[in-house]
Amino acid sequence: MADESVSRRRLLATSLGMAAALPLAACSSPKGNLRAETVAPLASNVSAVHNIRDFGAVGDGVADDTQAISRAAAVVDGPAVLYLPAGFYRVTAWPDLPDFSVVTGDGGDVSVVLYEGDDTLVSLRDRHRVQFARVGFFLTGPKGVAVSLSGSFRCSFDSVVLRGNHVNENFPKYEAQRGVVLERNTGGTAFVNCDINNFGIGIVTSCIQNYLTSSKLTNNYLGVLGTGNDNNAGLSMTNVEFVSDNDPHTTDKHIHIDGAANDWWLTNVWFEGAETSLSIGERGRGGPSQFGMVNCKVAARSTCLDLINCRQPYLANVRFDPDTDRFPVELRIDPEGCPEGTAVNLVSSRSDDVDIATFPKGWNVTGRGVASGTVFVGPVVTRAVDDKDVFQAQNRNGDVVSAVLPNGSMLFERSGSGPILKSEDGTYWRLSVSADGKIETKSMGGRRPPG
């Protein structure tokens, strides 16, 4: 709704304004120099680190620690700094955290919050720079959501484990579970060294400018969903693993973008264990404005990369592999939805190169010794090496039909071939040579010869 829309620019201005107001007011020394003793703290009401055990949390996985955690977060009117020692904390809800709050533990697998409900556990709405580090969340409710960020800016998750209850044996019971939901213009969210496992969907995003790095998504039925169909959804992923087993009930897709979206950039990303690893865009709904994959490895049971709709795909140094004994479709491109794109050094485990026929005519493709769709602007120079041809033209079978020799001479290998010239009246003529060496001309009519 219009009244719920949040301007990213306004959020940034607000956070910068809060940070800048106090120091500016304190910098009024006669000489204009900033003196340390005159600088007010950014937030004078920041609480001390609150160990939730000091507020009654038990952490045995049996006692309800909801109220203890809420008491720890509500001690002061300002950012909360919560510490969760190693333990398993069963809760029915999570407290609302102010801007700049910090939640930290002893490790994502030892400081674990257990939630059995079907609502959203951690909800950050219109929040700035809330941080979670070295904690874990384990959800067992069939419709539960671990973390939701709505209209929030620059929040971060470092070494956090988010785990659902989806496995192949119980599918589709937990298909509605969500690990992370990013919505309503949330931006600048960083997931670093995180694990997001065993959800119906690991990450759902309808926002741009969020980041996932050095992280792993395992055994999610759908790893990442870009949705909204409003040209917003986008994500940057670097050094990320998407893995699963080969049971079709465990993982269907690793990444699916279901309509018009923004920029998606994948660098050093590993995919294995899905029916279709990546499905980009949808017919009739659009796809991302840009989609880039660089230095990635993609394996699948059925289809590695399905490019259905995308304005500007870019693929470089991508390797395609099978997940089973049956080779999948390595790369499928819809020529209507993806008429143009760039592919550089794609590696196939089945052959030397991805078949050039895979790419629509508008694509620029550079492989190992193969280039297609390239347009050269300016002088094109080829240099002779020893006595080899400077240039060759080959047919589809790889047979040489013409060549430029090292001395610059043009050679035509077929008796019926030769230069084709157009006369002033628009007629095309072919020059050829007869068996006794005579030059002959043959009219080819007024239409440009096809070949």
pLDDT at 42: 47
Q: Write out pLDDT tens, residues 49-108.
A: 999 999 999 999 999 999 999 999 998 788 999 999 999 999 999 999 999 999 999 999
pLDDT at 318: 96
Intervals of the chain under pLDDT 50: 1-44
User: Any idea which residue has 């040579």 for tokens?
Assistant: 433
Beta strands in 4-155 (DSSP E): 50-51, 60-64, 81-84, 87-91, 102-105, 111-115, 120-125, 131-133, 136-139, 145-150
Spell out the residues 6+ positions from residue 22 whose beta carbon is closer than 8 angstroms to its own: 39, 40, 41, 42
User: What does the CA dihedral 291, 293, 294, 300 come to, rounded to 10 degrees?
Assistant: 180
pLDDT at 36: 38
| DSSP collapsed to 3 states, 144-172 | CEEEEEECCECCEEECCEEECCCCHHHCC
Q: Which two tokens stand for residue 91?
A: 């809760």
Instruction: Please provide the average confidence, as pLDDT, over all residues in the chain.
Output: 87
Q: Write out pLDDT tens, residues 163-181.
A: 999 999 999 999 999 999 9
User: Any idea which residue has 């209507």 for tokens?
Assistant: 336
Q: Which two tokens stand for residue 310?
A: 């995308």
Largest CA distance in the chain: 106
Q: How many Cα atoms sit within 13 Å of 285 on the Cβ side? A: 15
pLDDT at 45: 52
Query: Pairing between strand 111-115 and 362-366?
Result: unpaired
User: For residues 314 and 294, what is the distance between their CA atoms, to the nearest angstrom?
Assistant: 8
Q: Which amino acid is at 209?
A: Q
Beta strands in 231-272 (DSSP E): 235-243, 253-257, 261-271
Query: Which DSSP letter does residue 246 get?
Result: S
